[in-house]
Amino acid sequence: MQVFPTILPEVKIIRPRRFRDARGWFAEVWNERRFAELGIDAAFVQLNIAGNDAAGTIRGLHFQRPPSAQGKLVWVVEGSILDVAVDLRRGSPRFGRHAAVPLNADEGDLLWVPEGFAHGYCTTSPRTRVVYKVTQFYDPQAEAGVRFDDPALQIDWPVEEGRATIAPRDRDLPLLKDLVPAFEYGAEA
């Protein structure tokens, strides 16, 4: 297993080793001990999957407020996405900056998005399935987000805004400048 940095040091790309033979391949995508050695000491409590039928589907940018804040380990099991994490920690030298990472089922990379970051993605192929493990249970009272198309974030989504499939609730999320602070830089556990 290898770890690669992104523009946001806390957000990491994880590349599991694939063992290939005549049958295909096998990969270990989660090993608590190995991840701890890589600096990701996470206890996961829930496993989610999102099915997306069309390319150009945008989900996000979502997060949960403390004490229900979630770290997420994201991977694509079918299709491809552009995965995006935005630093929401007030006082961070990277506050409001984002990492945009292409993920696809063929390569099998995973993305670690810790607490304090909003998360979203855009499908870049039809029939995409995204699986993610989270460190806290879903809490509708803690659910929050920031607008995917906030000009301050400067995210270059791989779909024209007018052609994207987006939930009405995601269109109505606040801009970063209007977001009530939920995380402070340096307050991470």
Residues recognised as catalytic: 62, 132
The CA–CA distances, whole Å, from 93 to 83, 172, 174, 185 equal: 21, 27, 22, 9
CB 114 within 8 A of CB 10: yes
53: which residues sit within 8 A by CB, 6+ positions away?
A: 126, 127
- Pick left, alpha or beta for residue 188 (phi over 0 → left; psi -120 to 50 → alpha; otherwise beta): beta
Burial class (CB in 10 A: 0-12, 13-18, 19+), 186: exposed
Q: Which amino acid is at 168?
A: P
Q: What is the largest CA-CA distance in the chain?
A: 54
Beta strand pairing call for 89-90 and 183-184: parallel
The secondary element (H helix, E strand) that includes residue 32 is helix 32-37
